[in-house]
Amino acid sequence: MNPFTDSQAYDVVEIGGVVNPGIIAPGGITGFKRQTEWDTKKGKGVKGGTSTLSQLPPSKGSIKFLLWTAEHFDTWDQTFRSKFEYDPTKKAVIAVDIYHPTIANGGVHSVVTESIGIPEHEGKGLWSITVELLEYLPPEKKNATGTPSGSTSNKGGAGKTGSTDDPIADAQQKEIARLMAEASK
């Protein structure tokens, strides 16, 4: 969805099927970065190392809502705020679906609440409430770790050993290794 042709879609977020009262502040959606964690093992006395994908952690972010009418506050208090609140003594704690074009672009579709801010006066009758969210992303049952085998532009690159799945490159690497061993004698 393009912010220049569908700008109104960027003014609101849908939480659990309910659209927010008021609007989202300009620049009011922050975070929600898709991070990747790597475990890097360095070689002893040599250049380089091996990186293994170790985790794809849940994304974190916040949304700043702007309210400026009594109706906005009533809707926030009566309908919208409850989408972010938990009371495990009354009902099970569950994640809520979320939709906003930028958040969806980051692959975030379900969230839980980390914190709900208090209404803050921004001046001239404008109020804001900031909600901090954590992506609901339970781990898959199968192990998702992996070590990259190299890029296609670096096959047979300096310091690379082992098979490249290219018989010509493998033969060239063997010949280079043989010539280097002979030269070092």
> In this predicted model, what pLDDT tens digit does every residue of 17-55 receive, in sequence order?
999 999 999 999 999 998 888 888 887 888 888 888 888
How confident is the model over 156-172, as a mean pLDDT? 59
Four-CA torsion 83, 85, 91, 97, nearest 10 degrees: 40
Domain contains 147? no
Domain contains 148? no
Q: Are residues 34 and 123 in the same domain?
A: yes
From CA 8, how far away is CA 23, in angstroms rounded? Answer: 10
The continuous run of DSSP H or E covering 133 comes out as strand 126-135
Q: Are residues 90 and 178 in the same domain?
A: no
Q: How many domains does the chain have?
A: 2
Per DSSP bridges, beta strands 110-116 and 126-135 are: antiparallel
Which candidate, 139, 78, 80, 136, places its Cα nearest to that of 111?
Answer: 136
Q: What is the pLDDT of residues 43-89, one digit of tens each?
A: 788 888 888 888 888 999 999 999 999 999 999 999 899 898 888 78
Domain contains 174? yes
Domain contains 150? no
